[in-house]
Amino acid sequence: MGKPTGFLDYAREENPAIEPLVRIENFNEFHPPLDREHRQKQGARCMNCGVPFCQSCVQLAGMYSGCPLHNLIPEWNDMIYRGNWEHALARLCKTASFPEFTGRVCPGLCMAACTCGANGDPVTVKENELALIEYGYENHLIQPRIPEIRTDKKIAVVGSGPSGMATADLLNRRGHNVTVYERFDRVGGLMMYGIPNMKLEKQYIDRRVNLMKQEGVTFVTNADIGNTIPAQELLDSYDAVVLCCGASNPRDLNNPGRDANGIYFAVDFLRANTKSLLDSNLTDGKNISAKGKHV
C-alpha cells in the first residue's frame, strides 16, 4: 500500500475552483489541477484495501457500486504516492479507454464505494485518474496504439458518444476495421453536445478522436443512419453493425403550463449553446440565451 498512515496524515484535498466572478467570464473548465506533491499525498491516502470496493462494480440491492471499468485503483494510487507515474498510467490505460473523459465527468462510483469514505473522506480517485492521463499527454506517453495485425472484418458503429467510441477503440485494438457513424457534425455524442464546455472542454474529445484516427478508426459525421444513409446499406457493407445510439429522446412532462414559451429540454438547450459556442463563440445568434431572465 502507499503510506500506511496516509489516510490519517493527509486530509482529502480536491482540485481548487476558480472564483465564481472570475469563471463567469468564459465557458472554460474551472478546476486547475493540484501540483505533483499534493497529488502524491492524495495517492498516499489510499489504504489498498483487502477488498477494494472502489474497483469492484458489484450489484447491491439492484444498484451498482464501484468502478464500472474495474479500474485498478489501489495499484495506481500506490504508484502515484511512490512517484512512479509512468507505471501508474500504464495500469490505468489497461482498463480505461478514455481516462480524460471519466476523470472529468464520471459520477465517480469509485469514491462513493471507497472504504476511506465510510469514516471520513474518500480518496480523490477521479482526480488522481485525471492527473495521470494528463501527465501522459503532457509527457508524450500517450501514443497511437496501432494494431500489428488486421483482420479482414469490417464493423460499423452507429453513434459516436462514449459507448460508440469505446466500442470502436476496443474492436480496433483487436485488429478489426471500424467505421463510426455520427449524425451530427462533430464526433462525441452527448460528450460533445450534452455536456457543457465548463465540465469537459471539447479539445479533449478532438485530441482523442485524432489519436483514434491515427490508430485506424474512421469517423463519418453528418451521417444519420436510417435517414441520410439507409440502414440496409450498412448491413450490406459490413460484417457487423453495433448500435451505440444513446437515449436522446427527452421525457416530457404533462404539467399545466408545459406549453408556455421558454421551456426547453435540457439536451436541446445544451446542444444549441455548445454548438453556437464552438461554431462562433456565441455570435451566430443560434444559442438559447437566458440572459436577464429568471430561470
Least Å distance between CB 78 and ligand SF4?
9
Q: Which three cell numbers stand for residue 33?
A: 489541477
User: Does 123 interact with ligand SF4 (rule: CB under 6 A)?
Assistant: yes
Q: Which stretch binds ligand SF4 (CB under 6 A): 111-119, 158-166, 192-200, 271-279?
A: 111-119
User: Does 192 interact with ligand SF4 (rule: CB under 6 A)?
Assistant: no
Among residues 48, 65, 163, 248, which is the contact residue for ligand SF4, using CB under 6 A?
48
The 3-state DSSP class for residue 256 equals coil
In the shown chain, the binding pattern of residues 66 to 95 toward ligand SF4, with x for contact by CB under 6 A and - for none, equals -x-x-x-xx--x------------------
**Using CA atoms, how far apart are residues 71 and 87, in angstroms rounded to an integer?**
14
User: Does 116 interact with ligand SF4 (rule: CB under 6 A)?
Assistant: yes
The CA distances from residue 77 to 212, 227, 241, in Å, are 27, 47, 38
Beta bridge partners of 155: 178, 240
Q: Which three cell numbers stand for residue 111?
A: 469514491
Is residue 48 within 8 A of residue 1, CB to CB? The reply is yes
Is residue 98 within 8 A of residue 165, CB to CB? The reply is yes
Q: Which stretch binds ligand SF4 (CB under 6 A): 103-111, 131-139, 179-187, 245-253?
A: 103-111
User: Does 115 interact with ligand SF4 (rule: CB under 6 A)?
Assistant: yes
Among residues 12, 31, 49, 231, which is the contact residue for ligand SF4, using CB under 6 A?
49
Tell me the residue type at 29. Answer: E
Q: Which residue, 288, 260, 258, is CA-closest to 273?
A: 288
Chain positions contacting ligand SF4, by CB under 6 A: 46-49, 52-54, 67, 69, 71, 73-74, 77, 102, 106, 108-110, 114-116, 123, 125-126, 129
